[in-house]
Structure 1
Amino acid sequence: MRRSIRRRPSLSGGERCSMSATTRDSTATERRLRVRVVQRVLPEYRVPIFRRLAQEYDDFRVLYGKPYRGDSVRNAEVTKYSWAAPLRTWYAPGASAPYYCAVKDDSVRGAVVVVNAEVGNLTWPWLLWSRTRQKAAVVAWSFGYEPSRGFDPKHRWKDRLRAWLYQRSDAVLLYWDRARQLLVERGGLAERKLFVAPNTLDTDQQAKIRMGLEQGGRERARQRLGVDVGPVFSYVGRLVDDKEVDRLLAAWSLLEGSPGWNGNLLIVGDGPNYEELRAMAARKSLGRVRFLGELRDPARVGEVLFASDAVVIPGRLGLAVVHAFCFGTPVISTRRGELFHGEGIGYLQDEANGLLVEAGNIDALAGAMQRVAGDAELLRQLRQGAERTLREQASLDVMIRGIKAAIQHAADARERRAER
């Protein structure tokens, strides 16, 4: 018996033109949106994202403040960009005290405003209070909760306040999907207003750096770094307590003490633990460890990552995971609860694009590095997984799509509010 197949009716030329016109109208309407981003500071890694958004919207501005004294984050050099404008910022005493960005009415009137969603940011509730008068919409943009403390609105007043502010925002933009799950499960937020723009780097810039390095090949890069013999591992990031670089050195000590080990460890970064870690390496006579200090040139950092068989970060994971994946380099780290790692853990999949071992287990950390050094097929698969994750989850395009979706949702919510 032959099975009859119902064919989908084809569209007439007029219908196709109508659909095409609708798409063009929608795109044109989106471009005409007035978009403002209010940031406490404007760090360098955000510049490529905002530069792209400035191309997506005809009226786009980033209003940024001044970092508080002692802040490790600094403003990028953005005076050459027409889309960036400074504003005054007031800080209460104390590093984690409230602050307020002095946004003028005329700068946000009629705009979709994307604002840092921190409980201490008094600009956020001010925008919510004034949005009807300003005919504005508000997108709350954040990690979602305090990474070191989790999200528990039942027992923590800050999280109750955070959930209350999220509920009153027109859209909520988050760094990773786990935050969305927690806000729905514990905060009672409607999933339809939650959007994810995976936090990432300028992956386009990193791709250009990688293309240049690939012309000479990985061995040439290793020769320039002076590590042309043996496997290469690296750490790239701040030298602070929660990165646990001391555990990396302890694991490396086990490897250097094993027969035939000829691996190399490159440590890139600066921070309060720099001298202490150098002294630890000297005490343990770690002759195959090199401290390169802080490298400000992205091409030099890229060369280290490209030359590495794996990046090893025993402690808290952040955007260093994405940075490594930009060069096809897997990451070795440790399993922790949800209250430790940053958004970088959302990209890392054990045995797919990296390796995860038990936290605090120095032998297991050393064993993971031995596996990568001794198994070429495993390393090939991990490299492929890192590149696939970057392409599908962590590219700049993916982040831009998430931001634009949240902005459009907020604009639609404003229209519905105006009709009531």
Structure 2
Amino acid sequence: MIIIIQRILPHYRRAIFDALHEKVSFRLLHTIQKSFISQSKAKYSVLINSWKPFKSRDLIFLSCLRELSHQKGSIIIHEFSLSILSFHLVFHVGKLVGKKLILWGHGYNRKEGFSPSQSFSDRIRLYYLKRADAVVLYGQQGKEVLSDYIPTDKMFVAANTIDTDLHRYIKQKLDFKGRDNIKKELGISETLNICFIGRLLEDKQVDKLLDLTKILCHTHNLDLRLHIVGDGPMNEALIEQVLLLGLNSHVSFHGNMTDPENSSKYLYISDLMIMPGYVGLSVNHAFCYGCPAVTFAQDENGPFHSPEIEYLIDGQTGFQIPVKDLNVMADTVLEYFSNPIKQIEMRKNCLKMVAEICSKSKMVQGVLEAINYVRL
């Protein structure tokens, strides 16, 4: 038996664990937390208690030791986060009793980088990374960064993704109706459509997307509509900004859509998914519908992208604008709109990226490879 320990079971991760459970037997120990993230539970999951000391939002102790003592698993796969205080205890106790320990996560703080010689937190991370039997990372970049410190043969990439099988099925149904019919169904008459999908957070920089929309619509007179799918703390401020910029007839707020059958329609009819701030799994979501993505390239000042930025290859599956200039981004978008051959090519590249690099089966395969490695 394998024991997997995570803080929560996000709804978007459920399909990955379901597919993994079809390949190997495990128990998933997790909590349910108050969060904007939709959470789930499954037949293989065991709900455990937790507590947060010092009223800290980040530090958490998972009450998993008692449940671990009842399980006879020889392998423990633990979410790798130093802020999970119980992790430190589970790791050392597990080692003492001969368990195989697999760490699963980013491996390091992507915003701060990895520098054990200068960072105390990174020295602690390196301590665990060296002593773990295997490490599962969300992206290839993480493996490259850590390869200077730990053997590459015990690092495995489980390319972070969503339920790509579900979205392939939804896309097939949308293809049957056709893009023009979906636009009519949604009441969309604009020639060009761009989309933002995700939480309305400050770091996503949706305010800059509104400024970009003003440039495209008012300066360049494009027949274009921006579709904002999602909710969050920036919602009211963004609605007010739309009014101030005079974009009422060019921006639609669709709110949070929990049904992928509905939210995916807006990606399907969109020419681009644009997110000036940091990108994450929204990239995967967009690519499932052949929709290229646009963002600013990361530098020392951000935006600090999640591992999914690896799928956004500049000029192939989207654009990473090298300078933080909305006029440069606008010029890139305009050039793309004027090149129908490029649009067809990039849409195909997005679908190919999902099929070959960031599919659900690829993520499951990465975890299975780590399990098989420690079993040798």
Interval containing the TM-score (normalised by the shorter chain): over 0.9
Which residue in 2 is equivalent to 1:332? 294
Structure 1 segments (4+ residues) deviating >6 Å: none
| Alignment partner of 1:303 out of 233, 258, 265 | 265
Q: What's the secondary structure of 1:159's corresponding residue? A: helix
Q: 1:173 is matched with which residue?
A: 136
Rate the CA distance shift 1:123–1:109 in 2: closer, same or farther, 3 A.
farther
Deviations 1:224-275 (A, max 9, x none): 2222331111010111111111111111111111354101110111111111
CA distance in 2, matches of 1:392, 1:141: 22
State yes or no: 1:218 paired with 2:179.
yes
Greater Rg over alpha carbons, structure: 1
Matching residue within 81, 87, 101 for 1:124: 87
In the TM superposition, 1:302-381 aligns within 5 A as 302-337=264-299, 340-381=304-345
Match of 1:198 in 2: 159
One-letter amino acid of the counterpart of residue 343, structure 2: L
**In structure 2, do the counterparts of structure 1 residues 74 and 302 end up closer, same or farther at CA, with 3 Å as the change threshold?**
closer
**Aligned partners of 1:401 and 1:285: how far apart in 2?**
49
One-letter amino acid of the counterpart of residue 345, structure 1: I
Matched length: 371
CA distance in 1, matches of 2:258, 2:73: 40
Contact 1:40 1:101 in 2 (8 A): no
Match of 2:228 in 1: 267
What residue in structure 2 maps to residue 105 of structure 1?
68
Cα pair 2:161 2:358 within 8 Å, conserved: yes
User: Contact (CA 8 Å) 2:196, 2:275: kept in 1 or not?
Assistant: yes
The 5 Å alignment of 1:1-400 reads 34-57=1-24, 59-67=25-33, 69=34, 71-76=35-40, 78=41, 81-92=42-53, 93-103=55-65, 104-185=67-148, 188-286=149-247, 287-337=249-299, 340-400=304-364
Q: CA RMSD, aligned part only?
A: 1.6
Looking at structure 2, the residues matched to 259 and 132 of structure 1 have their Cα atoms a distance apart, in angstroms, of 63
Query: Residue type matched to 2:131 in 1?
Result: R
1:19 corresponds to: none
Question: What SS does the aligned partner of 1:162 have?
Answer: helix
Q: 1:229 to 1:66 in 2, by over 3 A?
A: closer
Amino acid at match of 1:60: F
Secondary structure of the residue that 1:40 maps to in structure 2? strand
84-93 or 162-171: bigger deviation: 84-93
1:129-187 Cα shifts (integer Å, max 9, x gaps):
222454421110001212222212111111110110111111000000111111122xx
Secondary structure of 2:209's counterpart equals helix
- Percent identical among aligned pairs is 27
Contact 2:196 2:228 in 1 (8 A): yes
What is the TM-score with the length of structure 1 in the denominator? 0.85
Structure 1 runs not aligned, ≥5 long:
1-33, 413-420
Partner AA of 1:268 in structure 2:
V
Alignment partner of 1:388: what SS?
helix
- So what's the TM-score if we normalise by structure 2? 0.94
